[in-house]
Amino acid sequence: MGTGALRAYYEMRKILHEIASHSGLETFEYLTNTVNFSPFPMILVDRWQRIYAASMSSGFKTDQTVTDQTSPEERAFLQQFIDRLTAAGLWEGGCQKFDYEFRTEAEIRRAVVTSVEIQGEIFALVQKAW
């Protein structure tokens, strides 16, 4: 990844953390718009894997679940990711930020997850990291 892409990644991460820190009902639309129009692969999802917002580059569609949009070959990776988020306490509000890395022989997958609470409900803001 080039220096410019890395800088943009960290700047976006800072912005997303600020949004997540100050979320409220009036910012939910702003948050979904930020995700939908992000040049980075990202989604906003609830604990049941329903997607509320997705950037075009994420490859996901809203109003469906992540599992429904994940190929059978990829579901084992997805389940490991979900299990680690749950174990970290993300859905109970015990984990504000979670960095995920999974290695196979062929590749490394990374994601940054920020917990967002809006009117008592926890959402995961997931951004793919390269």
Higher-scoring residue by pLDDT: 121, 24: 121
Poorest-pLDDT segment among 2-16, 43-57, 71-85, 107-121: 2-16
Confidence of residue 97 (pLDDT cuts 50, 70, 90): confident
Confidence of residue 8 (pLDDT cuts 50, 70, 90): low
The one-letter amino acid code at 128 reads: K
pLDDT surpassing 50 at residue 1: no
Indicate the number of domains in the chain: 1
Task: Work out whether strand 51-54 and strand 42-46 pair parallel, antiparallel, or are unpaired.
Answer: antiparallel
* Chain segment 74-88, per-residue pLDDT in tens: 898 889 889 988 998
- Domain that residue 37 falls in: 3-129
Q: What CATH number does the domain containing 122 carry?
A: 3.30.450.20
Cα(19)–Cα(46) distance, integer angstroms: 17
